[in-house]
Amino acid sequence: MAGDRQRIDRWLFFARVVKSRSLAARLAQSGRVRVNREKIAQAAHAVKPGDVLTITLDRQVLVYRVLAPGARRGPAAEARLLYEDLSPPPAPREREPIPPPGLREAGAGRPTKRERRALERWRGED
């Protein structure tokens, strides 16, 4: 049925993968979108429900299964109804432990109010 098919650039725009339709067309033409594991080169490539899209963005890879063609670019909740997210979870990043606030190496930075008052008492500037 022809009504179930939609251009990939329109679908990417309606699903809120990119901010504008021209960016969606550029993304499709650059070869960073695959439909059912096949690289596409045209923004006019048609997608239908059941197709699996692999989209390579700058820092992530998105894997979406198309559930429905979009009718408009609505709110994010409406856009999430157009696809099922099959993306792998991001790898956990290791973080350096954050020192508790107020603790610092001696002599590093400005003195605290408490340290300043102790220094003034030591100098006899009370």
Has this prediction a pTM greater than 0.85? no
Hey, where are the domains in the chain? 2-85
pLDDT in tens, 41-75: 999 999 999 999 999 998 889 999 999 999 999 99
DSSP string, the chain: -GGG-EEHHHHHHHTTSSSSHHHHHHHHHTT-EEETTEE---TT-EE-TT-EEEEE-SS-EEEEEE-S--SS---HHHHGGGEEE-PPPPPPPP-PPPPPTT---TTSSSPPHHHHHHHHHHHT--
pLDDT bracket for residue 95 (50, 70, 90): confident
Return the CATH architecture of domain 2-85. Answer: Roll (3.10)
pLDDT in tens, 9-26: 999 999 999 999 999 999
